[in-house]
C-alpha cells in the first residue's frame, strides 16, 4: 500500500459527534455535487495535462484560499497525487475527505511533524508518476507568503513548481486568515495553469530569498490572469 495513505485516521468520534468515516462521506458527496454545478473554463492547461501522460512528476502549488475547487484540476489516476495535511483534528477529517477524492496525504506541518513529512514527500518524489501538492502559505499563514518548505522540497527533489490559480465569477470570501474563496453554485470558474518554475541550487539566505521572490511573482502573475478572466458586472 502507498504509504502516503497510511495516515488514514481511525474510525473514531471526534468533536463532530459521529465517526469520521460518516462525516467524510457526507461532506465529500455534498462537495462533489456542489462543485459539479460550476461552469468550468481551463486556460493554459495543455502542458499540465501532458505532464501526467508523460509521467513527469510535478510539484503543484497554489494559494491556500483556493483549496475548495482545486480537486477539479487533477486529471490523473487516483492516488497518484499527494498533499500535505496538518496533524490537527481538522486534518483527520480533511484526510478522509481527500482519500475519497483519490488524493493521498502526508501528515505534518512546519509547526509539527515537519521533518518527517518532508522526508516522506521526498520519498514520494522519487516516483516520476506521483505528483505532490503544497500550499506555500498553509496551513495557517501568513497569507500569500512563500514558506521555506516548498522551496526546499523543490530544490531537493529537482521538481519544477507548477503554479495554479482559480477565480470565480461570483463567490463569497470568508473573513478568516486566508480570505477563503467559496464560489456560488452554478457560477463560472476559471482555472489557470502557469509555466514551470525551476528552483536553482540554494546555497545561502540570499539564494533562498531570491527563490521565494521567484515563486511568489509566478503565483501573483497567474492569479492576476485568473481574476482578469472574470466578466465585469453590468453597469460597472
Domain boundaries in the chain?
A: 3-228
| pLDDT higher than threshold 50 for residue 162 | yes
Least confident range of 2-11, 35-44, 227-236: 2-11
Cα 200 from chain centre: 22
Q: Which of 49-63, 81-95, 99-113, 173-187 has the highest mean pLDDT?
A: 173-187
Least confident range of 88-102, 121-135, 143-157: 88-102
Total-model pTM: 0.88
Q: What angle do CA 29, 194, 2 make, to 5 degrees?
A: 50
CA of 33: how far to CAs of 4, 49, 66, in Å? 27, 24, 18
At the second CATH level, the architecture of 3-228 is: 3-Layer(aba) Sandwich (3.40)
C-alpha–C-alpha distance, residues 209 and 205, integer Å: 6
* Residue 111: band (very low, low, confident or very high) from pLDDT cuts 50, 70, 90: low
Least confident range of 16-20, 40-44, 76-80, 225-229: 16-20
C-alpha–C-alpha distance, residues 85 and 159, integer Å: 20
Say if strands 59-61 and 161-168 run parallel, antiparallel, or are unpaired: parallel
Residue 111's closest CA among 146, 86, 91, 79? 86
SS3 96: helix
| pLDDT higher than threshold 70 for residue 2 | no
Amino acid at each position: 500500500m502507498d504509504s502516503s495513505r497510511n495516515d488514514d485516521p481511525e474510525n473514531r468520534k471526534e468533536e463532530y459527534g459521529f465517526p469520521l468515516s460518516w462525516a467524510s462521506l457526507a461532506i465529500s458527496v455534498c462537495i462533489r455535487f456542489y462543485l459539479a454545478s460550476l461552469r468550468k473554463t481551463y486556460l493554459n492547461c495543455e502542458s499540465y495535462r501532458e505532464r501526467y501522460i508523460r509521467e513527469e512528476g510535478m510539484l503543484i502549488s497554489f494559494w491556500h484560499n483556493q483549496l475548495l475547487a482545486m480537486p477539479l484540476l487533477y486529471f490523473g489516476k487516483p492516488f497518484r497525487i499527494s498533499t500535505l495535511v496538518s496533524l490537527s483534528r481538522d486534518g483527520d477529517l480533511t484526510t478522509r475527505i481527500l482519500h475519497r477524492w483519490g488524493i493521498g496525504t502526508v501528515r505534518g506541518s512546519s509547526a509539527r511533524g515537519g521533518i518527517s513529512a518532508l522526508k516522506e514527500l521526498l520519498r514520494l518524489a522519487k516516483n516520476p508518476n506521483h505528483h505532490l501538492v503544497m500550499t506555500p502559505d498553509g496551513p495557517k499563514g501568513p497569507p500569500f507568503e512563500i514558506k521555506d518548505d516548498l522551496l526546499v522540497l523543490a530544490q531537493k527533489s529537482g521538481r519544477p513548481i507548477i503554479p495554479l490559480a482559480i477565480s470565480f465569477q461570483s463567490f463569497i470570501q470568508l473573513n478568516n486568515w486566508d480570505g477563503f474563496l467559496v464560489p456560488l453554485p452554478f457560477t463560472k470558474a476559471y482555472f489557470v495553469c502557469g509555466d514551470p518554475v525551476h528552483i536553482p541550487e540554494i546555497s545561502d539566505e540570499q539564494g533562498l530569498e531570491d527563490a521565494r521572490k521567484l515563486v511568489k511573482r509566478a503565483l501573483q502573475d497567474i492569479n492576476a490572469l485568473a481574476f482578469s478572466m472574470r466578466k465585469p458586472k453590468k453597469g460597472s
